[in-house]
Structure 1
Amino acid sequence: MKLYDNRNSKLHAVWMILLVMILIVGCSGNTNSPSTGQADGSSTDGKQDPSKKEASKPKLSIYVPSNVEEFPAGTDLNQNEIVDYIENQTGFDVEWEMQPKENVEQKINIMMASGDTPDLIITGSKDIYANLAQQGLLTPLDEVLQQFGPRIMETVPDETWQAVTYNGSIHAIAVPQNQRATSGMLVRTDVLEELGLAIPKTLEEYTTALRTIKEKKPEMIPMLGGAADGNAFGNISSFSGAFGLGAKYVVEGDEVVHTYTQPYAKEFLTYMRGLYEEGILDREYPVNKLPNLQEKMVSGGAAMATMDWVNAKVITEAFLEKNPNAKMELIHPPVGANGQFGYQKNTPVRVYMLIPKASAKAKEAVQFINNYMAEDVLNVVSYGWEGNHYNVENDVVVATEAAENIRYRIYYQLWDSEKNFLNRVTLKGFAPFYFPIMDYSTYTEITNFAPPIEEVVENTQTLTDLTNEYYIKIITGALPLEAFDEYVDKWNSLGGAESLKAINEWYAGFNA
Structure 2
Amino acid sequence: MRYQRRLFITSIAVILLLVTVIGCSQSKEANSSGNTGNQKETAEGNQTSGGKETDTLPMSNGKYDPPVTITTVRGVGGDLTFKNGETIENNVHLKWAKEKLGIDIKYLWTVTDTNDAYKTKLRLALSANQKMPDIVALRSDVDKDLIDSGKFMDVGELFDKYASQTWKDAMNEDPTVWYPYMRDGKRYGIPILDYAYNADPVLWIREDWMKKLNLQAPKTLDDLQNIMDAFTNQDPDGNGQKDTVGLTIGFKNWVNTWMSDAGWVFGGYGSMPNQWNEKQDGTLEYGSVSPETKTGLGKLREWMEKGLIPKEAGLFDETKATELFTAGKAGIVAGPHWMPWWPLEDVKKNVKGAEYKAYPIPSGPDGKAGRHDTASRNGVVLINKDMKNPEVFFTYQNYLFDNYANPKAGTEFENGMAKGYDWDEVNGKVVVGGEVPGGSVPVNKYTLTFDGARIPSLSMKTLAKLANGEEAVTPYEKTAKAATPVTVLEAAKIVLEQKDIVMPQKFVGAPTETMKAKNELLQKMEKETFSKIIYGKVPLDAFDKFVKEWNSAGGEKMTKEVNEWYQSVSGK
Q: What TM bracket, shorter-length normalisation?
A: 0.7 to 0.9
Query: How far apart, in 1, do the equivalents of 2:181 and 2:320 lie?
Result: 36
2:249 matches 1:225: yes
Q: Which runs of 5+ in 2 are unaligned?
A: 1-31, 35-63, 236-241, 408-412, 463-475
2:95 matches 1:84: yes
Query: How far apart, in 2, do the equivalents of 1:120 and 1:378 lie?
Result: 25
Deviates more, 1:431-440 or 1:53-62: 53-62
**Which of residues 98, 107, 114 is equivalent to 2:128?**
114
Q: What corresponds to 1:172 in structure 2?
A: 189
Q: What corresponds to 1:383 in structure 2?
A: 416
Query: How far apart, in 2, do the equivalents of 1:507 and 1:135 lie?
Result: 23
Deviations 1:391-414 (A, max 9, x none): 99xxxx984732952334334224
Residue 361 of structure 1 and its aligned partner are, at CA, apart by 6.8
Give the 3 Å change call, closer, same or farther, for CA 150–215 of structure 1 in structure 2: closer
**Which of residues 156, 159, 162 is equivalent to 2:171?**
156
Deviations 1:87-139 (A, max 9, x none): 323322113546614325434322322334443232344x3333433444432
- For the residue of structure 2 that corresponds to 1:369, the secondary structure is helix
Residue 268 of structure 1 and its aligned partner are, at CA, apart by 0.9
Q: What corresponds to 1:13 in structure 2?
A: none
Q: What corresponds to 2:265 in structure 1?
A: 239
Q: What corresponds to 1:402 in structure 2?
A: 436
Deviations 1:255-310 (A, max 9, x none): 22222112111111111111111211101111112342233222211111222234
2:212 matches 1:194: yes
Q: What corresponds to 2:360 in structure 1?
A: 332
Q: Which runs of 5+ in 1 are unaligned?
A: 1-28, 32-52
**Which of residues 208, 219, 227 is equivalent to 1:209?**
227
Q: Kindly report which structure 2 residues correspond to 1:202-351, keeping only aligned pairs within 5 A, or say none.
A: 202-217=220-235, 218-228=242-252, 230-234=253-257, 235-246=261-272, 248-254=275-281, 255-323=283-351, 325-351=353-379
- For the residue of structure 2 that corresponds to 1:286, the secondary structure is helix
Residue 313 of structure 1 and its aligned partner are, at CA, apart by 2.9
Query: How far apart, in 2, do the equivalents of 1:109 and 1:188 lie?
Result: 46
Deviations 1:166-192 (A, max 9, x none): 122111012344322422212112112
Query: How far apart, in 2, do the equivalents of 1:310 and 1:110 lie?
Result: 37
Q: Is the 8 A contact 2:421 2:443 kept in 1?
A: no
Residue 384 of structure 1 and its aligned partner are, at CA, apart by 2.7
Deviations 1:210-260 (A, max 9, x none): 1222221221122212123x2234522231222223362222211222221
- For the residue of structure 1 that corresponds to 2:342, the secondary structure is helix
Give the counterpart letter for 1:258 in structure 2.
Y
Q: Is the 8 A contact 1:177 1:346 kept in 2?
A: no
- For the residue of structure 2 that corresponds to 1:305, the secondary structure is strand
Q: Is the 8 A contact 1:60 1:92 kept in 2?
A: no
Q: Kindly report which structure 2 residues correspond to 1:454-493, keeping only aligned pairs within 5 A, or say none.
A: 454-456=513-515, 459-493=518-552
Give the counterpart letter for 1:409 in structure 2.
N
Residue 208 of structure 1 and its aligned partner are, at CA, apart by 1.2
Query: How far apart, in 1, do the equivalents of 2:511 and 2:185 lie?
Result: 11
Deviations 1:9-56 (A, max 9, x none): xxxxxxxxxxxxxxxxxxxx889xxxxxxxxxxxxxxxxxxxxx9984
Query: How far apart, in 2, do the equivalents of 1:320 and 1:296 lie?
Result: 13
Give the 3 Å change call, closer, same or farther, for CA 378–464 of structure 1 in structure 2: farther
- For the residue of structure 2 that corresponds to 1:186, the secondary structure is strand
Q: Is the 8 A contact 2:188 2:382 kept in 1?
A: yes
- For the residue of structure 2 that corresponds to 1:86, the secondary structure is helix
Query: How far apart, in 1, do the equivalents of 2:528 and 2:415 lie?
Result: 42
TM-score by length of 1: 0.78
- For the residue of structure 2 that corresponds to 1:354, the secondary structure is strand
- For the residue of structure 2 that corresponds to 1:140, the secondary structure is coil
Work out the number of aligned pairs and report it: 457
- For the residue of structure 1 that corresponds to 2:295, the secondary structure is helix
- For the residue of structure 2 that corresponds to 1:438, the secondary structure is helix
Query: How far apart, in 2, do the equivalents of 1:381 and 1:106 lie?
Result: 38
Query: How far apart, in 2, do the equivalents of 1:455 and 1:258 lie?
Result: 14
Query: How far apart, in 2, do the equivalents of 1:264 and 1:484 lie?
Result: 11
Q: What corresponds to 2:555 in structure 1?
A: 496
Query: How far apart, in 2, do the equivalents of 1:493 and 1:425 lie?
Result: 51
Deviations 1:367-412 (A, max 9, x none): 44344434158753982358996699xxxx9847329523343342
RMSD: 3.5
| Bigger fraction of residues in helix | 1
Give the counterpart letter for 1:71 in structure 2.
F
- For the residue of structure 1 that corresponds to 2:341, the secondary structure is helix
Q: Is the 8 A contact 1:30 1:89 kept in 2?
A: no
**Which of residues 472, 480, 487 is equivalent to 1:432?**
487
Q: What corresponds to 1:14 in structure 2?
A: none
Query: How far apart, in 1, do the equivalents of 2:357 and 2:250 lie?
Result: 20
Q: Is the 8 A contact 1:184 1:238 kept in 2?
A: no
Q: What corresponds to 1:94 in structure 2?
A: 105
Give the 3 Å change call, closer, same or farther, for CA 223–155 of structure 1 in structure 2: closer
Query: How far apart, in 2, do the equivalents of 1:163 and 1:451 lie?
Result: 6
Residue 343 of structure 1 and its aligned partner are, at CA, apart by 1.7
Give the counterpart letter for 2:379 in structure 1.
V
Query: How far apart, in 2, do the equivalents of 1:409 and 1:321 lie?
Result: 31
Give the 3 Å change call, closer, same or farther, for CA 154–313 of structure 1 in structure 2: closer
Query: How far apart, in 1, do the equivalents of 2:537 and 2:121 lie?
Result: 36
Residue 511 of structure 1 and its aligned partner are, at CA, apart by 4.4
Query: How far apart, in 1, do the equivalents of 2:169 and 2:297 lie?
Result: 46
Identity of aligned residues (%): 17
- For the residue of structure 2 that corresponds to 1:156, the secondary structure is helix
Give the 3 Å change call, closer, same or farther, for CA 398–179 of structure 1 in structure 2: farther
Q: Is the 8 A contact 1:243 1:267 kept in 2?
A: yes
Give the counterpart letter for 1:231 in structure 2.
W
